[in-house]
Amino acid sequence: MGKFLPALNVIPKLRDATAHSMTKLSEKTLEQTGIFSRFLMDVADVFLFMARFNKELFSGRFEWKEFGHQCYQVGYKTLPLISITGAIMGLVLTIQSRPVLADFGAVSMLPGMVTVSLIREMGPVITALICAGKIGSGMGAELGSMKVTEQIEAMEVSSTNPMRFLVVTRVLAATIMIPLLVLYADLLGILGSWGGANIKGSVTFTLFFSQAFSAVDFLDFLPAVVKTFFFGAVIGLVGTYKGYNAGRGTESVGIAANSAVVLASLLVIIVDMIAVQITDMIIS
Amino acid sequence: MSTFPTDINTIAWPKATDRESVIEINNLKKSFGTQQVLKDVSIKLYKGENLVILGKSGSGKSVLIKCIVRLMNPDAGTINVLGENLSTLNTDALGLLRQKLGFLFQSGALYDSMTVRENLEFPLRRIKKDLSEKEISEKVIEALENVGLADALNKMPSQLSGGMRKRISLARTIVVDPMIMLYDEPTTGLDPVTSDEISELINEVQKKYKTSSIIITHDIECARATADRIIMLKDGEVYTEGNIDDFETSTDPLIKSFFK
Ligand SMILES: Nc1ncnc2c1ncn2[C@@H]1O[C@H](COP(=O)(O)OP(=O)(O)O)[C@@H](O)[C@H]1O
Ligand SMILES: [Mg+2]
C-alpha cells in the first residue's frame, strides 16, 4: 500500500494543473469574447457609417472629378497585381486538378471545371481579398493621414463636405471597379488555365475556350457578379470608415490601414458565405 | 506699470460698447470624457486687431479655435461670429459664415495629393464660384506672391520645407479674402528666422486685407511681433489679459516663465 502513496501526491498537482488550465481557458474565452464583441461593434459602426454615406450620396453636388480620379486609382493601379494573381490562379488550379480528373478519365472536363470554379468562387474571393489588402489599406492610410494632419478639417472649412468629397467618391469607385477587376481576373485565370492545360498535353485556344464556356451557364455567372458589387462596397466602406475615424497622432494611421485590411477581408469572406447561401436557396 | 492686475475687471480696456467686436465667446465649456479642457472661457475679438492667445501646449488652444469654426461643438456657452450665433446655424448658413473665416492649421494641412496650385485653387473654386479660369489663376499667383513663393506653383507639398508649407498654407487661406483670420500656432516647429518671417507675414496680411485675427501660440517672439492685445489661458480659463508691455513687466511667476 505504501508504494502507492507517492502516486497520491500527484492528485493535488493534477488539481492545480486543471485549475490552472481552467483559468487560462476562461481568460482565453474572455479575451475571445472581447475580440468578438469588438468585431461586432466595428461592424455596427460600419453600418452607421453606411447610413451616413447613403445620406450624402443623394444630397448635394457629386464630386465627378474626384470620382474619376478614384476609379483610376482603384481600377487601373490595381491591374498589374490582379493580372499576375489571376493568371497564376488559373494555372495552379489546372495543374492541381488534372491528376484527379485523369484518375477518373475525365481530363476533357478540365477546362469547364476550372472555369466554373474560377467564375463562381476563386476569381471573386481572391480578387476581393487582394483588393482588401491593396485598396482597403490604401484608403485607410490615406484618409487616416489626412485626418491626423487636419486636411479633412481644412476641407470642411473651405465649403467642401469631406464625407462627399472623400468617402462617397471612394466607396462608389470601389463598388464599380472591383467587379470589373474580378471579371478581368476571371478572364486572365482562364488564360492561365489554358497555359496550364498545355503543359501536359496540348489543347488549341478555341477548343479550350469552347469547352470552358459550354460548362458555364448564366446561373453560375449572375450571382458571382452580383456578389462582387457587395465586396467592392464592403472594401470601400471599411477602408474609408477606418481612415475617416482614425484617432489622433501618427500611429493611428498605421492602425487605420491595418485594421481596414483585417476587417475588410473578414467581411468579404462573411459576405461570400451569405451570398452562397442565398444563391443556393434561390436556385434549388 | 510695475505690476499689472491679473483680474481682468480692473483693466481699463475699451468696453465692448466702444469697439465693434467680430467674435464673442461667452462661457465656453468643453470636455473630452472626464478631462475638462475648457472650463469657462469668455473672449472678444475686436475689429481690426491682432489678438494673441497664449497658453502651454495641451491647454486647449486648438480646441478653442476649432470651436470658433464649429469643427468642434462646445458642451456649453455661446459663440457669436460676425453677429451670428454659431449653434443656431444650419449647414448652409455655417458654410457661408466659414467662407468669411480663414483658418491656418497647426500642421499646415496642405493636401498632399495636390500641387501647390491645386491646393490654392481648391478653396477658390468652391467659395468664389463665379470666377473665370483667368481670374482664378491670377488670384493664385497673387496670393503666392504675397507670401513670397510664386515659384513654388507646381511643386508638391512634400517637396517643400516646413516654413514654405506654412507660407503656402497661409496663401491658401488668404486667397479667398477672409474677414477674420484664425492662426493655430503659426510659428511652432520653425526656426527663429522663419518664425520672424511668418510673424511679419501675419502683420502684412492684417494691413493688406484689413482682417481681424486670433493668433494662438506659445511663442513669445511671435506674440511680441504681432500682438495688439494678449490673453493668457491656464487650466481652461482666461488667466490674464493685457498688452505686450503689461506682460513683459509682469511679476506674475507664470507670465514670467513665458517671458524669460
Ligand atoms: N478630439 C479630441 N479627443 C480627445 N481629446 C482631445 C481632442 N482634442 C483635444 N483633446 C485634448 O484636449 C487637450 C487640449 O488639446 P489642444 O487644444 O490640442 O491643446 P493645445 O493648446 O496644445 O492646442 C489635450 O489634452 C488633448 O489631449
Ligand atoms: Mg494646438
Please report, in tens digits, the pLDDT of each residue of chain A (284 residues total).
444 444 445 444 544 544 444 444 445 555 666 778 888 888 898 999 999 898 888 887 889 999 999 999 999 999 999 999 999 999 999 999 999 998 998 888 899 999 999 999 999 999 999 999 999 999 999 999 999 999 999 999 988 999 999 999 999 999 999 999 999 999 999 999 999 999 887 889 899 999 888 888 888 889 999 999 999 999 999 999 999 999 988 899 999 999 999 999 999 999 999 999 999 998 88
Q: Is residue B139 part of a domain?
A: yes
Give residue A224's Cα distance to chain centre: 14
Q: Is residue B44 part of a domain?
A: no
Residue of A nearest to B96 (CA): A159
CA A169 to CA B118: how far, in whole Å?
Answer: 18
Above 50 in pLDDT, residue B174? yes
Q: How many CA atoms lie within 13 A of B42 on its CB side?
A: 6
Run of H or E residues at A69: helix A64-75
Interval B101-112: pLDDT, tens: 999 999 889 999
Q: Is residue B3 part of a domain?
A: no
Run of H or E residues at A80: helix A79-103
pLDDT given for residue B257 in this prediction: 83
**pTM (2 decimals)?**
0.86
- What residue's CA is closest to ligand 1, atom 7? B32
- Testing the interface with B: which of A52, A153, A159 to mutate, by most B Cβ within 10 A? A159
Interval B183-224: pLDDT, tens: 999 998 888 998 999 999 999 999 988 999 999 998 899 999
| Mean pLDDT lowest among A78-82, A239-243, B4-8, B84-88 | B4-8
CA B118 to CA A256: how far, in whole Å?
Answer: 27
Residue located via cell numbers 459663440: B79
Contact B185, B214 (CB under 8 A): no
- Region for residue B101 given its phi and psi (left: phi exceeds 0; alpha: psi -120 to 50; beta: otherwise): beta
Among B1, B13, B63, residue whose Cα is nearest residue B37: B63
CA A112 to CA A220: how far, in whole Å?
Answer: 12
pLDDT given for residue B3 in this prediction: 45
pLDDT given for residue A30 in this prediction: 53
pLDDT given for residue A241 in this prediction: 96
Coarse DSSP helix, strand, coil percentages of chain B, rounded to the nearest 5 percent: 40, 25, 35
pLDDT given for residue A170 in this prediction: 97
Contact B101, B214 (CB under 8 A): no
Angle formed by the axes of helices A218-244 and A169-197, to 10°? Answer: 130
Q: Is residue B42 part of a domain?
A: no
Q: Is residue B121 part of a domain?
A: yes
Please give the distance, rounded to the nearest whole angstrom, from the Cα atom of residue A124 to the centre of ligand 1. 44
pLDDT given for residue B1 in this prediction: 39
Domain count along chain B: 1
What's at A228, amino acid-wise?
Answer: T
Nine-digit cell string for A139: 484608403
pLDDT given for residue A28 in this prediction: 54
Which member of A146, A151, A157 has the closest CB to residue B71? Answer: A157
Q: Is residue B222 part of a domain?
A: no
pLDDT given for residue B258 in this prediction: 79
- What residue's CA is closest to ligand 1, atom 16? B60
Run of H or E residues at A83: helix A79-103
Which member of B105, B123, B126 has the closest CB to residue A153? Answer: B105
- Bridge partners (DSSP) listed for residue B104: B183
DSSP A120: I
CB atoms within 10 A of CB A225: 15
Nine-digit cell string for A223: 450571382
Collapsed DSSP state (helix, strand, coil) of residue B76: strand
**What range does the domain containing B150 cover?**
111-165
pLDDT band at B171 (very low <50, low <70, confident <90, very high): very high
pLDDT given for residue B19 in this prediction: 78
Collapsed DSSP state (helix, strand, coil) of residue A272: helix
Chain A positions touching B108 (Cβ under 8 A) are 149
Where do runs of H (alpha helix) occur along chain B?
Answer: 61-68, 91-98, 116-127, 133-146, 162-174, 192-209, 220-226, 244-248, 253-258
Complex ipTM value: 0.88
CA A264 to CA A132: how far, in whole Å?
Answer: 6
What's at A118, amino acid-wise?
Answer: L
Chain B positions touching A155 (Cβ under 8 A) are 122
Looking at per-residue pLDDT, the higher value among A79 and B250 belongs to: A79
Above 80 in pLDDT, residue B173? yes
CA B68 to CA B22: how far, in whole Å?
Answer: 12
